[in-house]
Amino acid sequence: MTAEDFLSGQILLVDKPLNWTSFQVVNKLRWEIRQAFNIKKIKVGHAGTLDPLATGLLVICTGKKTKEINTYQGQIKEYTGTFVLGSTTPSFDLETEINETYPTDHISKDLVHKTTTEFIGDIQQFPPVFSAIKKDGKRLYEFARAGETVEITSRTVRILEFEITKIEGLHLDFRVVCSKGTYIRSLANDFGKALNSGAHLSALKRTKIGDFSIENAMSIERFINSLKN
């Protein structure tokens, strides 16, 4: 591809690595494109944030395609990952340490599969306190890390598909198809409560955004190498 291709607008499907922020991926790609073609300025953005502890599909738009970001952000998404039963964390995932443990002896495989049906359709969900949502000009995680309590309002999200694909001890592998704005960490926490226990998210991968699939995504390294060819 040429400099003009990127300036006119490209859609890049990237497999975000673990521990990278979505912002870091955008910055890295922007820098590499600028260096490869000696471009002073180019717009690059992503269509939907992934947490640092999540991996998978990021839709990256360049140049004039950045105007279409809102379109892609609103599309249906698919995730796979793992819940751990019997314990919770303040962030609902592994960003923070386990703060409470719960009984799990009463949880059967049948109960696990039956409970997933409670979450199909439109549901009310509270975003995690450790999230980037803004309240009073600050992001929620800023309040949380400062030890400040803040009132969070619930939001309506839609779960189109939710299945447990594997049960191994207290670890549940899942697949979820959901609307924009759904927090899988919150789903993990709520699922634990619905089982009269607790749960947190230990792994998450985004596999689809609309018609875009992780199967067609490239690693950051592969993208950089493609610029050199």
Q: What is the pTM of this model?
A: 0.91
Is the pLDDT at 3 greater than 90, yes or no? no
Tell me the pairing of strands 199-209 and 54-62.
parallel
pLDDT in tens, 150-178: 667 788 999 999 999 999 999 999 999 99
- Residue 128: the pLDDT is 77
Which residue in the list 51, 110, 173, 190 is annotated as catalytic? 51
pLDDT in tens, 96-142: 999 999 999 999 999 999 999 999 999 999 887 766 566 566 665 66
- Residue pair 50/182 in contact by the 8 Å Cβ criterion: no
Structure tokens, 165: 């694909």
Catalytic, 51? Answer yes
77-209: CATH number = 3.30.2350.10
> What are the boundaries of each domain within the chain?
3-74+211-227, 77-209
Same fold, 3-74+211-227 and 77-209: yes
pLDDT in tens, 175-200: 999 999 999 999 999 999 999 999 99
Burial class of 229 by CB neighbour count within 10 A (0 to 12, 13 to 18, 19+): exposed
Q: Which fold is adopted by the domain 3-74+211-227? A: Pseudouridine synthase (3.30.2350)
pLDDT in tens, 22-77: 999 999 999 999 999 999 999 999 998 898 999 999 999 999 999 999 999 999 99
